[in-house]
Chain A
Amino acid sequence: MKKISLSVDAVQISVEQGATILEAARQAGITIPTLCHLPKKISQESHCEVCVVACEGREGLIKSCATPVEEGMVIITENDAIKAHRQERVAALASIHFGDCKAPCSLTCPGQINVQGYIAHVAKGQYAEGVRLVMEKNPLPFSVGRLCRRFCESRCRRVLLDDPIAINHLKRFVADWCMSNQVDLNIQKQPATGKKIAVVGGGPSGLAGAYYLAKSGHDVTIYEAEKELGGLLRYAVPEFKIPKKVLDYEIATILKLGIEVKCNHRLGQEVSMDELNSQFDAVLLTIGAGVDQPLGLPGSDLPGVRPALDFLRKYNAGGEVKQGKSAAVIGGNNVAMEAARALLRQGYEVSIVNPKKDISGLGANPVAIQEAEKEGARFLFQVDPCEIRQQGSGLELVMNQLELSEPDKKGKQKLQPVPDAFDVLLVDTVVYSQGQIVCQSDETPAADVALSPKNLIKANVKTAMTSMDKVYAAGEAAGGSRPLIQVVSTGRKAAESIHSAVMGLAPAPAESRFNFTRGKSAEDSKVLERFTKQERTPMPTRTPETAVLDNEEVKLGFDEAAAKREADRCLECGCMAFDDCDFKTLCIDNDINLNKTGMGTVPAYSLDQSHPMLDVDLNKCIYCQRCVNACAYEALDLSCVSKDEQGVATGISLSFNDNCVHCGNCADFCSTGTITKKDVLSPILNEETRKVRTTCPYCGAGCQMQLKVKGDTIMEATSESHLAPNYGALCVKGRFAFNFAQDKARLTTPLVRRDGKLVEATWDEAYDVIAERLTKVKKEHGSDSIAGFSCARATNEENFLMQKFMRTVIGTNNIDHCARL
């Protein structure tokens, strides 16, 4: 074959005659982007035109995938004209691409949890995998699963049909399921780095920080001021919301990574900042905001007037004694609600007093407010406490009435005091919670760490760095009172920042925010038509009347059937090709701004689910035709009604003809998420996966395949086109039929027959029975009275051992397998 010499981006290369410019560049290690081209395939008539290059001496740009090399060509693959053309092409294609990259739920979660992913794992019965997925971003699935503010549910697109998915209940379900089934999550750590990190404060952000630092291979020690870890989860959240045994289990799961814990070590007392700085490579302060802001009213220091956290601490420790019969709670945050509910359980009549207009103005989780209300707390709005007075053995809470002002220019109304209008509430005790701070100003735990005017630690929002070198802060200590998932999330992000710093790495680039979205509109009829209405599964809950009688958990949790039913309601908005979308990559690489260039806004096609193994969503199709190019069986019929002057196709139709052998190769080559595999339900959002190259377990062809593994689950099987003997081809079995590996019917324990029945046994018991019985038969009837079948499915090593066992241990050649069957 004749060789042709040319230059590509000033690199001299020599390739075989007949090769295209694209192929020549690839051989030289220069990647020219393309959407439609596949190696060794003749390109279709219509091209994506993304692969254009410039050639010296030629006018305009040429398609590198369709132009054969010529002697002496000088090719340039990057210049302004090329970039502009690519941008124009990609933007044109984007204008019809309609779909969500990330699902709204995942997009909204402050913890960046792959929400759709874990819902899918629940639907598939892969509960441990669901928990592992949650724990990639949130190591506290038990607590968050009980307390979360659920921003995700507020964006769930299921509202267009009926109610949002009960997402958080599913999170709690998978966590609880793993606890009651004692599943070892087998979470892998990175190799040890030799770096030592101190985490000061074992509350939610500290635990999260410690978890991710330990997972990254660092040597982590938690210093905790109290007797036990948990922070506010233990000391402020009552048993009826998070049972202590659940919290203990959650913390134990985190500590399993190998984290040292020093309880009863308060910063500034048992351990000093200097000590930490000298012993550790970095220090993370997550000391929480464990002190209530002072009430600051006349009479605040009367006996019977107490900060809510003090009250809850004592209540949760079982040391709280009821005094009188009525209580007022001042405040509208979560702690106030917990305090109110605890007071109800002590038998108080409880009034929650608030200067806001109504419930919508309160800071607490709406669910917590509802619960307090259901259990009998009375809410008083538009009253501003101004004084507390002793009245006999009781207290008088004096409150200024508030009213709405006249609307201002913008039509806004403010609450303002009604002059001289006061209400007086007679109670026996007053508990207040008006926000939490790190410390009273005169008792700073770390003098050199600067505090904000609000008495929180000053820390950079992105890097978590404080004013002191190598000292970081996260959680409520730095950010003040906020929803638990955000607290956890700051702990994780601080851990990432510390990891980069101690390892001398550049900070991990922020995840691209590039995202196609279908928007929020109800114009989704084509998307919603395949779903039927199904009500949200209610959380089994004890009645408020009985729940207030004790301290037991109020919400009982989903059982497996309820969880499955609820998970099946998911509309699966997010794209299954999230981690494998060439089109999105191209958009990002070419700086496409969808807000300027536009994207598909209306679904033009219904989802086609008629193929047994594949789903086809033509709303995402950019008509690159790579699926057709990839099919070795000519099984795809792809056409469009028309194309506009920019080459954008409308009226696309894609069907599979009788040649289709369901091998799924087209899905692996789809440049978007148009063709997806039915069995791949969980999108992968920048999470770590492993690729394991192995040999197909089916026929004797010995096809090489790659298993994509996440945690302990095989997500999908693909193949590499350069490897003998199959060079990328797989059949329907190779690509799809690996579910048996993780089927529920798998044997998980040895069984031994006792009294006619097969019963579970330990390995030792099973081995003993086999050894004893085989030895007996051998002794009584000779070696040749025992036979063994080996296995044509097992490995060479195992077959070798099996015949060796029969020949050496048993002493017979009665060994065979199904070679003939």
Chain B
Amino acid sequence: MASLAITFGSGAMTNSIADVVNNKTDLFFMIGSNPDTSHPTIGLRIHQALDKGDAKLVVVDPRRTKLAERADLWLRIQPGTDVALLNGLMHIILKEDLWDKDFVAQRTEDFEEMQEMAEKYPPELVSEITGLPISQLEQAARMYAAPGRNAIYHGMGITHYHTGTDRVKSIANMAMLCGKVGVEGGGCNPLRGQNNVQGACDMGALFNTMPGYGKLDNDQLFDRYEERWQVKLPRHPGKPATEIWDNILQDEIRALYVFGEDPAIADANIGHVHKALDHLEFLVVQDLFLNDTAKAADVVLPAACFAEKDGTFTSTERRVQRVRKAVEPPGMAKEDWQIISELSERMGYSMGIAGPEDVFNEVCELLPQYKGLSYARIEDVGLQWPVPDTEHPGTPVLHTESFTRGKGLFCAGIYMAPKEPVDDEYPMLFTTGRHYARYNFSNMTGKTEEIDDIAPEALAEVNPVDAERMGIKAGDMLRLASRRGTVDIKAKITERSQPGTIFTTYNYEETPVNFLTLDALDRLSRTPEYKLCAIKVEVLG
């Protein structure tokens, strides 16, 4: 989200799910997103919009997904080469004079740099990098640039790379170049993976911004916060979560407070994480379960789950919605707001709140995006931020008149090859995704037995061509090894995987694929390259 914040000024989905429901979109440009499995109810609406008739569909995905199968154009791209593709498309759009000159002139800046950069991506080169025929590149460029309300959707298939932010910038560049931002039915629409990842960002649970994306060098803002909170605040950036492990091993970080996460299974290259957790001087974990991270903790605090507390989540379309308490937490478990507030009190600082609504009111007081919100206003239906005042109906489409930052900023992003290309020793690419019936690891979906029947185990999806070549039969156990670790997994032979690439779902603790994945980080957002690494395959039979 860091890149959309730079280019547009707001790091969030520019448009709404309602655009899909109400058939406002003329063309869906899906890149690195498979909503049928990651966001099933949104996937459903996209299919329904396509069923109704007029909308076109372009899919960029190495995997043969359901959407790819019904796309008007499916670009089965070499994994990890999206920036080259996007720059190449812009090259064609510029060359064929398909761009929106008025929009670029009135609404954007730094166009020339981007233009120069796009020059360097002629179709021949891009075709070679991406493995796509030139005709497909041209067709894709023409379809997207054609007049109409054309929307780009992207998911973790874009961001989970060390070049993730470049990709998102390239997406933003293409949308601005064609004037597709700020209109109903169009826009750049990142589909957020977790229920409240948007909210956690909005709330400033980030090392480099304050709540509401307030900048750390904004002295006025800090004065305001210090006045409100009656305490001196640190103004230099902190350490991103993904760098913490190195920092711990270098004794720069000595104590860690983990609230509701399980990095011991979820992070890339978890062997490294385990080492760091053992090295810590003091570890607090606050969670629902005694997960792998909690097992290493010095203090474990039992927390309440979504059904046991009041509050709000902010969805991928910036909709702030109520969460309501349905049942009591088990045993002595407490609601997280209560734990943090009581601990704070114990350490000599009063949060001055009596419940979630007090906190929300403080959020609305401090965050410009949430200013006009209150529990009363979202009692029935959530509102989409920004909601600048108490009469404002919410903002289904961002950047309609101007971008949040004023003018949209073109950020030329050059293509960088994946960190870990295949070689003789590790000849296959490895990538991961979510199963539609599962969510991250077993702590949640694993507790519903019936789901085991739908998705009993992780399977390595191997293209028949590769299977033939390597002598893999369906159901064979494979040992996949990367430079970081190995994992044993059953083979499934399917056209869904591209030749040369093995895909698996990552949702199984029994098959911890993150022993393989790469922790190379994106330069800006510090996101690891989950989606791609090189592996070798041993057939265990």
Contact = CB atoms under 8 A, between A and B. Distances in A.
B359 A819 contact: no
Contact of A792 (B36, B196, B237, B287): B196
B367 to A, nearest CB: 9
Contact of B450 (A703, A736, A817): A736
A596 interface: no
B103 interface: no
A789 B16 CA distance: 29
B224 interface: no
Contacts of A803: 203-206, 211
Interface in B249-282: 252-261, 263, 266-268, 281-282
A781 B299 contact: no
Given A700-B39, A774-B255, A741 B307 contact: yes
Given A679-B448, A731-B436, A792 B203 contact: no
A701 B307 CA distance: 17
Given A748-B302, A797-B356, A699 B324 contact: no
B512 to A, nearest CB: 14
A695 B200 contact: no
B335 to A, nearest CB: 8
B381 A723 contact: yes
A750 B200 contact: no
Contact of A812 (B41, B238, B356, B443): B238
B297 A790 contact: no
Interface residues of B, number: 151
Contacts of B302: 746-750
B40 A795 contact: no
B331 A787 contact: no
Contact of A796 (B191, B320, B445): B320
Given A701-B42, A795-B311, A802 B205 contact: yes
Interface in B164-219: 164, 191-208, 211, 216
A531 interface: no
Contact of A786 (B253, B267, B362, B527): B253
A801 B359 contact: yes
Interface stretch (A95-103, A214-222, A704-712): A704-712
Contacts of B330: 742, 746, 748
B257 to A, nearest CB: 4
Contacts of A723: 380-381
Given A693-B324, A732-B437, A812 B234 contact: yes
A556 interface: no
Given A709-B326, A798-B337, A694 B307 contact: yes
Contact of A805 (B240, B328, B344): B344
A374 interface: no
A749 B303 CA distance: 9
A733 B16 CA distance: 22
B331 to A, nearest CB: 3
Contacts of A781: 254
Nearest to A709: B326
A736 to B, nearest CB: 6
Contacts of A742: 327, 330
A376 interface: no
A789 B445 CA distance: 23
A737 B448 contact: yes
A814 B238 contact: yes
A571 interface: no
B202 A796 contact: yes
A3 interface: no
Interface string A753-793: 10000100001001111110111010001011111111111
A748 B331 contact: yes
Contacts of A767: 342-343, 346
B351 A804 contact: yes
A820 B522 contact: yes
Nearest to B48: A632
A726 B315 CA distance: 12
Given A741-B308, A791-B200, A814-B253, A801 B351 contact: yes
Contact of A700 (B198, B326, B328, B333): B198
B307 A714 contact: yes
Contact of A699 (B194, B241, B312, B348): B194
Contacts of B311: 794-798
B196 A799 contact: yes
A453 B305 CA distance: 61
Interface string B293-307: 011011111110111
B256 A820 contact: no
A732 B436 contact: yes
Given A747-B303, A815-B238, A816-B206, A612 B253 contact: no
A795 B199 contact: yes
A769 B342 CA distance: 13
Nearest to B342: A767
B469 interface: no
**Best-surrounded residue of B196, B337, B359 (most CB of chain A within 10 A):** B196
B241 A817 contact: yes
B319 interface: yes
Contacts of B527: 820-821
Contacts of B197: 700, 792, 817-819
Contacts of A768: 346
Interface in B88-137: none
Interface string B360-381: 1011000000000000000011
Contacts of B221: none
Nearest to B320: A796
Contact of A788 (B1, B203, B256, B333): B256
A789 B256 contact: yes
A651 B327 CA distance: 44
A447 interface: no
B1 to A, nearest CB: 7
Contacts of B289: 743, 745-747
Contacts of B351: 801, 804-805
B160 to A, nearest CB: 8
A731 B316 CA distance: 16
Contacts of A819: 1, 197, 200-201, 206, 525
B407 interface: no
Contacts of A186: 328
Nearest to B258: A789
A734 B451 CA distance: 12
A730 B195 contact: no
A546 to B, nearest CB: 38
A777 B208 contact: no
A760 B230 CA distance: 36
B540 interface: no
Contact of B237 (A740, A750, A794, A813): A813
A789 B195 contact: no
A255 B145 CA distance: 74
A813 B311 CA distance: 24
A533 to B, nearest CB: 25
Contacts of B16: 725
B453 interface: yes
Contacts of B530: 821
Contacts of A732: 40, 436-437, 451, 454
Given A745-B289, A787-B244, A807-B233, 16 more contacts: A613-B450, A699-B316, A701-B17, A740-B448, A743-B289, A753-B299, A758-B295, A783-B234, A792-B200, A796-B202, A796-B311, A799-B203, A803-B205, A817-B241, A818-B261, A821-B242
29 contacts: A186-B328, A632-B44, A692-B325, A699-B192, A709-B327, A731-B41, A733-B445, A740-B447, A741-B306, A747-B294, A749-B331, A751-B294, A752-B299, A771-B346, A774-B255, A784-B234, A786-B256, A787-B255, A789-B259, A790-B200, A792-B196, A793-B196, A795-B337, A796-B312, A797-B363, A802-B340, A809-B347, A817-B200, A820-B527
Interface of A: 186, 612-613, 632-633, 661-663, 678-679, 690, 692-704, 707, 709, 712-714, 723-727, 729-734, 736-743, 745-753, 758, 763, 766-771, 773-775, 777, 781, 783-809, 811-821
